[in-house]
Structures are given as structure tokens and as C-alpha cells.
Structure 1
Amino acid sequence: MRFPAAVVAGMLLLTGTGTSHAVVRIANDRGGSIGRYIERYEKLRAARQSVIIDGLCASACTIVLAAMASDDICVTPRARLGFHAAWDFGRNGRVFTDREATRMLYSMYPAPVQQWLDRRGGLTPRTVFLQGRQLHGMYRGCDLERRPPATR
């Protein structure tokens, strides 16, 4: 789950403003390689796409909050974001928490998400979930009547 600082910096410098042309729905995404998600969201942002979070978005999937403008993200009542510390494999093949990658990941999130994480002890190996009223207080609800139901 390691990612180079230059990739993160490049992702954060993307501008991609304007009207959204397409919609991507996140419904059951358990995460994966941070680098792969950064690349995916860079492409979405560059294409000026919008994101509907309509279910689980966990681990590296949550980078969507850093990569996309908040105006380009909406959440449904089913949206559930899962956060935890970044991890990697050691030389012996065992999993360990990568503190540097965790700090970078944390720094990417918008301030309201960072504050919410802080109230729960930060990014730790234990997964914490942002959902319901707390999530809807940070991101707008989806108007699914006005948007086509595209899927990822």
C-alpha cells in the first residue's frame, strides 16, 4: 500500500473544474492498492466525472475524498466509508502499519474528515466507518432522479 510522495503531490495539484459529464457509482468497494486508486481518481477528475457513493467505500477507495472536488461527490443513505492506517508487507512477509504512508494518507483527506478521524483516534489498524448523519453533514446527498445511474 506504499505510494510515492510525488504521485500524491501530482494528484493534489490536479484541477479538473467544470460541469460533470459522467457519473461513476461506488457501491461495494473494499479498497486495494493506493497507487491504483490514485490513478483511477486522477482519470475521473481529469474527465470531469462525478461520483455517487452508494454503499461501501473502504480503505484506498476513500482517497476519492481527496482526489475529487467535494462538489463532484454525493452520498446516498447507503454510503459507508471505512478508514484505517496504511499497511505494507515486511521482508518476512508479515503485514505492518506504514506510519509514513498513513501520515500522507491522513494529510490528503479534507479537514472535516481529518477532524472526524481525530475524534476516533486517527488512522489506526482498526477500521472506523463514517456514515449516516455524520457523512451527510460533510457531503451533499445524491439527487438520483436527476443523474443517470452509471456504475463502476
Structure 2
Amino acid sequence: MRRVTFTKTLMLAAALLAPVPVRAEVRIIESPGGRVGPFLDLFEKVRESGDRVVIDGPCLSACTLVLSIVPGNRICVTKRAVLGFHAARSVDRRGRFYAEPEASEAVLAAYPGPVRDWIDRHGGLTSRLLLLRGRDLAAIYARCR
């Protein structure tokens, strides 16, 4: 009887002392955006890792793809967080920008509903940069603790 109790106690102690996987956090302090591909690769890895994303400053353009890839319950925002959206565009051989309407539609469709709604209420994705911050942002994503 003692041996069984002792074994149960050891099993309980082992369970309580077992290492618990600790999730890391990815903190976005300032991202002006850039080429879409590297952001897609990065955020896919973040999604697979289970890490939390803390948006703690400007996350502009391609950086906002995090909203489409990482689950919303793993994203939080600070008071400094700003999300910047604009229509998709490419650069030709001469360095001139041109609109990519189909890509803009695809990106917009991939954003979570509340983000899409906010963008639509503010004129949609155009060449103009739309900035989501403050109360509007906190109404969509949790504040970081």
C-alpha cells in the first residue's frame, strides 16, 4: 500500500515538475513593410511555432499580412501600435509603381472580417495609406498585458 501511494506521489510530483513548453513572443517595433514574400515566410513560421505576436509600433504595408496568417487570439497590440494599409503595387523595370488590383482584392479578402470592415469604412485599399490605431485598433485586437 505504501509503495502504491509513494508511486502515485512520485508520478504527481513528476507531472508538476515536468517542463512546460514556453511560448516565445515576436515583437513588431517598427516595420515599414517591403516585399511580400519574406513576410509570408516569416509569419508562416510564427504561426507554426505557436508564438504570440506583439505589435508595439508601426506595422505597415506587407507587415500587416501578420493579421491574415497568425490567429487573432495570438496577436495583441500596445498603445504604440499602428497598422498601415494600402493597395497592392509592383515596380516595373524603370522603378515606376503600378497598381495590382487583383492582388489588392486577394489581400483584402484574407484580412479578418473586422479589419476588412474598417478598411471598407475608410475608403478601401487605394494608393493612400490608411492608418488603424488607438481605439479602433483596440476594438479589434486585445491590448497586450
> Which residue in 2 is equivalent to 1:88?
90
Q: Equivalent residue of 2:47, what SS?
A: helix
| Contact 1:20/1:50, CA 8 A, preserved across alignment | no
Of Structure 1 and Structure 2, the greater helix share is in 2
Aligned length: 125
Amino acid at match of 1:22: A
Query: Per the alignment, in what secondary structure is the counterpart of residue 121 of structure 1?
Result: coil
Structure with more contact order per residue of length (Cα contacts < 8 Å, sep ≥ 6): 1
Task: Show CA shifts across 1:25-58 (max 9, x none).
Answer: 0011010111111110000011111000000000
Q: Distance in 1 between matches of 2:22 and 2:37?
A: 24
Work out whether 1:73 is the aligned partner of 2:71: no
Q: CA deviation at 1:93?
A: 3.5
Specify the structure having the higher radius of gyration (Cα).
2
TM-score by length of 1: 0.79
Secondary structure of the structure 1 residue equivalent to 2:30: strand
Matched, 1:139 2:141: yes
Runs of 4+ in 1 over 2 A off after TM superposition: 90-93
What is the alpha-carbon root mean square deviation over aligned residues? Answer: 1.3
Matched-pair identity in %: 45
SS of 1:123's equivalent in the other structure is coil
Q: 1:33 to 1:20 in 2, by over 3 A?
A: farther
Q: Which runs of 5+ in 2 are unaligned?
A: 1-20
Residue in 1 that maps onto 2:45: 43
